[in-house]
């Protein structure tokens, strides 16, 4: 009996997915490999949307015109405006808003964050409880440290901000307009407008250093 119930649920799910895929295709969505794409009943699409293989779209997702979602991305509770590129391997969680012409690259995770127009987060970053302005660039390995073990805190990044690779932004913190953060920094204080924030230790060099050898 249990096996029959499981089989029925699996069959019903497959049939529902097939209907959702056919509906998306009939509405002009370009599903490159439809059988590998998973949709929700409330997914809405704009015009000229392309979805590559092995994409999972959960509940409460809106996708705008001319957006492109690359393989192995997982999206839920997200609003995507027009001309947005996502993935591959992106994880967009509930409360994410991507304004037009933004780019979310490979192995980027977002949660409860608004990313404004023409901002890029290209790879290997976590953006949570954050607002990012227009025309900003978030370098690889950037982490918004939004949780201290008890409470969540917000990060604010203004327009035209450049964040270098491997940066930790310890919330609550604000990067003001046109500011720059040096790669490898741990930022715990606000960075002023048109300023460089950097906390990198000075590099040292040991001359004629001899490596230890195995005995």
Q: Which residues are identified as catalytic? A: 123
User: 69 — alpha (psi -120 to 50), left (phi > 0) or beta?
Assistant: beta
CA 157 to the chain's CA centroid: 15
Separation CA 30–CA 70 (nearest Å): 12
Token pair of 180, please?
């720059």
> Residue 29, SS3?
coil
> Residue 63, SS3?
strand
C-beta separation of 81 from 66 below 8 A: no
Separation CA 34–CA 151 (nearest Å): 41
Q: Which of 169, 206, 160 is nearest to 190 (CA)?
A: 169
Separation CA 176–CA 38 (nearest Å): 39
């Amino acid at each position: 009996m249990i096996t029959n119930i499981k089989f029925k649920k699996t069959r019903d799910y497959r049939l529902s997915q097939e209907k959702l895929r056919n509906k998306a295709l009939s509405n002009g969505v370009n599903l490159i490999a439809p059988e590998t794409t998973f949709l929700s009943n409330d997914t809405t699409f704009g015009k000229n949307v392309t979805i590559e293989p092995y994409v999972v779209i959960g509940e409460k997702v809106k996708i705008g015109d001319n957006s492109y979602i690359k393989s192995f991305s997982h999206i839920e509770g997200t609003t995507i405006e027009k001309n947005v590129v996502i993935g591959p391997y992106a994880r967009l969680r509930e409360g994410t808003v991507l304004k037009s012409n933004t780019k979310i690259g490979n192995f980027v995770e977002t949660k409860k964050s608004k990313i404004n127009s023409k901002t890029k987060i290209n790879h290997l970053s976590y953006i949570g409880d954050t607002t990012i302005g227009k025309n900003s660039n978030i370098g690889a390995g950037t982490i918004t440290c939004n949780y201290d073990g008890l409470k969540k805190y917000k990060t604010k990044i203004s327009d035209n901000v450049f964040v270098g690779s491997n940066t930790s932004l310890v919330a609550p913190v604000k990067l003001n307009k046109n500011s720059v953060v040096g790669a490898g920094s741990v930022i715990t204080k606000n960075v002023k407008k048109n300023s460089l924030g950097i906390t990198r230790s000075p590099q040292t060099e040991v001359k004629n250093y001899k490596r230890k050898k195995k005995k």
